[in-house]
Structure 1
């Protein structure tokens, strides 16, 4: 019955769905879409990457800072009993904040915001008063975001966070600009759009994608808005999800205008090796016009992470989201960073006169020198269709929380929070693989483990041989195994194929369930695999052990 159900769904074209839309069908197959469910109903949805952990200290700090800001606001118009407040006052704000800390000593978040102000003053060399005023005005949301790209001190602090987490100890020459956006997905939307509007990519152009990759990077170039040709650079499970030099050499083709990648990868959750990063940087020296975009949302879960932005800063657009590391998907906090001397601005400056004229007309309403407008500021303008540029910018309370997350990390010099998260997700992966009967290999320093790929072809061959895998692929329809897991075991995974994996596979998020749940998922996968092994034995007369264990 389950097999027929899966086949009918595939025949109806369901295999064309994005994995995130297919997830809803898998949830239905698991009974999760039923209007009435038994009281003991239990579904294990490892399909989404939303973590079940979050950073509490900077959130406590946000609420305490909000309480202080409200006190500041209520100092004005206090004669009016109708609940009218005013803007905070810059004069004396540091002294009033110190008094607030004393009055609330011992409350959650108080030590953190006190330490944050001290860090901003003593370590970053910024004015404590200016910082407190920006944070109070920002958390009260009583003014437009000014500057629109990002609040002044907020950009400096977030920039320091990006330096620590994305660049680390790697030498970096020059400065970079930051645009605060509504999460990594908004960053993708803005970047594709502004590159098109500024003739950096045109219909029929060729870009490269590092595969597998977050599905929208596959889908956006195909849209009628862009109509781009795509070259795939394939990282494979056989190569520990690294790109071979042969694959990276595809970037030498001058037809390729840009290379987009997610690092660490989604869904394999493996960071690009140092050797590969250096190899890409060498290619960039030969191709100084190549545009790179690196989406590094999972970099903060890696050991000793260094972004491609550090090695090829002038060619690279850095996208980073706070959503996963801080458990803040609902906040929609992301950044776009570009070096102040970059190939995007250089390419725009070299455009033909007719295209420059079009862009001059596009941006002339927001600046007296539209031809000199930087790419990152064009992103800001285009995010509000240029005409609404005066209301551009991420909401100021969002920027305040982003700043507090950044300071929380900067102040955590022993990386206690980061190490706790690493232990958490790696313990979950170990539990999953133990129950699947596959040894968890911890020797690869590039593993990040936010997600894991259960590659049925790869692991099936390791456990049972190539003949079994060939038989299995012939006997099963696309996504049948995922629907069987959903309907039989109420386990929901995402299809790896939707992210561009070479083999049939399922993506398991290691962030959104508890360790016992991953043991259940591992047992369900093993039970389903054993069933197919027994069917194979019956059909072929072989005697494979359905409970084989891979050492």
Structure 2
């Protein structure tokens, strides 16, 4: 009977995230063995303090609501009142001063009042009403104070606090993937991308970003901007120069990259800035979800703000994938609004009809506000917007990071991820990659490079010609219980496997390294038997 690994061809065209389910099925097929799923990037760590603050804020909000109809015994509450809310909140903090999360709320209120200069009572009213979810998100794009706080955090992390905050608009939505979906849909609806246009994509990349432009909805021609693994996964100037082609309407990039997990270098950012000077019409969409894990990170948005749409998700850094928290940021003077103003008059008239229910001045409607409306098919714009409890949790996450002046949380996560990577490669028996600017959130295990280090180039050439490396991944899953994703599913050109370093513990990554080394030893024994040579000890051994 054939093994499922022998039937890999039927799965070749699956997205790596669909393929992962097949690998998990194989890896979990033996009851006596633990499965080690390093396939998906959902972290097994999370920020506890802002969650404790969230739940305590909820207790205050529920009690404050009950004050309005306290004469009723049936559990009916009313809308929170601004008058006296700061005093009531202070009384709650004093009464619960030893409860986890309460001291965090006290510090958070102090920060927005004393460091950001926001009105404490208005801020508290927004958070209290928001966590109760007792009203529609107003404004639909983002709650007023939520936008101020999250923008302060975002520009601190993505731009090092070098940009004036008042020039950036935010739209709160259901994570980074929703952001990309909405952006492409609005670009199409507003005639800013059309079938046949070229879309440049930084490669390797998160697989759906390759698939979206090819859909019948968009029918874009993809142009690969290939990072060079020999140059630390940076984009060479000749690759970036593909953006000079005026047929390239949009450049989509993940920075730091997924799966190489490396931030774009200062030289790369500077080169893009020079390209934008020559291509002021170029639209850049950058997904910076991993930016908080990289040292000295700067977003393309900080370098080319007028041409860049910034997408950020809270999911990875705060361990909140289930919360679905993300934002889109655009500069108030941006290429999208300029492109809308330059559309032919007949197209403007069609768009006047599309958005007529929103405003009498459709021509003055910014792209980011069209984005909000399009997310609810325009007609339902009045019910658009991320749920208010989600926005409150987003605010508390942002404040948690902003108040961490020593970056203790960030440093702890970086150390955690790096130790996991070192454990994997130590027990695999080869040196861990040392790419400058790495986040260590994922690692690309270069299979040819690994076996070359272990047993030399001749064996590596034999293995790559004799065995389909994706079949190796199926064998690894079936025989060792380890789930890795194939690199070519992320447009990686070299035989490789992506391992997330975020979702298992250190000893488990060591076990993955050991399992992979044993698999290499087995193939090496077959090679020696076929060639009639004596097996040698590995050239590279665990330290």
* TM-score of the superposed pair, with normalisation by structure 2: 0.97
Task: Confirm or deny: 8 A CA contact 1:456 1:504 kept in the other structure.
Answer: yes
Segment drifting more, 468-477 vs 516-525: 468-477
Segment drifting more, 381-390 vs 469-478: 469-478
1:400 to partner: Cα distance? 0.1
Secondary structure of 2:445's aligned partner: strand
Secondary structure of 1:471's aligned partner: helix
Task: Indicate the residue corresponding to 2:299 in structure 1.
Answer: 307
1:236 to partner: Cα distance? 2.9
Residues 357-382 of structure 1 show CA distances to partners (whole Å, capped at 9, x for unaligned) of 11111101111111111010111000
1:17 maps onto 2:8 in alignment: no
Task: Confirm or deny: 8 A CA contact 1:6 1:479 kept in the other structure.
Answer: no
1:415 maps onto 2:407 in alignment: yes
- Paired with 1:219 and 1:199, the residues of 2 have a C-alpha distance of 20
Task: Indicate the residue corresponding to 1:219 in structure 2.
Answer: 211
- Measured at CA, do residues 441 and 227 of structure 1 come closer, stay the same or move farther in structure 2, by a change above 3 Å? closer
Task: Confirm or deny: 8 A CA contact 1:170 1:306 kept in the other structure.
Answer: no
Secondary structure of 1:479's aligned partner: helix
Task: Indicate the residue corresponding to 1:480 in structure 2.
Answer: 471
Secondary structure of 1:381's aligned partner: helix
Task: Confirm or deny: 8 A CA contact 2:447 2:495 kept in the other structure.
Answer: yes
Task: Indicate the residue corresponding to 1:369 in structure 2.
Answer: 361
Task: Indicate the residue corresponding to 1:28 in structure 2.
Answer: 25
| Structure 2 gaps, min length 5 | none
1:455 to partner: Cα distance? 1.2
Task: Indicate the residue corresponding to 1:388 in structure 2.
Answer: 380
Task: Indicate the residue corresponding to 2:64 in structure 1.
Answer: 72
Segment drifting more, 64-73 vs 171-180: 171-180
What CA RMSD, in Å, does the superposition of the two structures yield over aligned residues?
1.5
1:6 maps onto 2:1 in alignment: no
1:169 to partner: Cα distance? 4.8
| Structure 1 gaps, min length 5 | none
Q: How many residues align?
A: 542
Alignment of 1:518-533 (within 5 A): 518-533=509-524
1:255 to partner: Cα distance? 1.1
1:186 maps onto 2:171 in alignment: no
1:478 to partner: Cα distance? 5.2
Q: Of 316, 321, 327, which residue of structure 2 is paired with 1:335? A: 327
1:438 to partner: Cα distance? 1.1
Secondary structure of 1:453's aligned partner: strand
Q: Of 61, 66, 76, which residue of structure 1 is paired with 2:53? A: 61
- Paired with 2:106 and 2:98, the residues of 1 have a C-alpha distance of 12
- Paired with 1:517 and 1:400, the residues of 2 have a C-alpha distance of 35
Alignment of 1:404-443 (within 5 A): 404-442=396-434
- Paired with 2:97 and 2:226, the residues of 1 have a C-alpha distance of 55
1:145 maps onto 2:142 in alignment: no
- Paired with 1:483 and 1:456, the residues of 2 have a C-alpha distance of 14
Task: Confirm or deny: 8 A CA contact 1:52 1:512 kept in the other structure.
Answer: yes
Task: Indicate the residue corresponding to 1:121 in structure 2.
Answer: 113
Secondary structure of 1:420's aligned partner: helix
Task: Indicate the residue corresponding to 1:47 in structure 2.
Answer: 39
1:510 to partner: Cα distance? 0.4
- Paired with 1:409 and 1:168, the residues of 2 have a C-alpha distance of 13
Task: Confirm or deny: 8 A CA contact 1:320 1:336 kept in the other structure.
Answer: yes
- Paired with 2:58 and 2:365, the residues of 1 have a C-alpha distance of 36
- Paired with 1:262 and 1:545, the residues of 2 have a C-alpha distance of 42
1:512 maps onto 2:503 in alignment: yes
* TM-score of the superposed pair, with normalisation by structure 1: 0.96
Task: Indicate the residue corresponding to 2:87 in structure 1.
Answer: 95
- Measured at CA, do residues 169 and 449 of structure 1 come closer, stay the same or move farther in structure 2, by a change above 3 Å? same
1:503 maps onto 2:494 in alignment: yes
- Paired with 1:195 and 1:469, the residues of 2 have a C-alpha distance of 46
1:254 to partner: Cα distance? 1.1
Q: Of 439, 445, 448, which residue of structure 2 is paired with 1:454? A: 445
Residues 162-210 of structure 1 show CA distances to partners (whole Å, capped at 9, x for unaligned) of 0110000545686110000101110011011001111111111101000
Alignment of 1:285-324 (within 5 A): 285-324=277-316
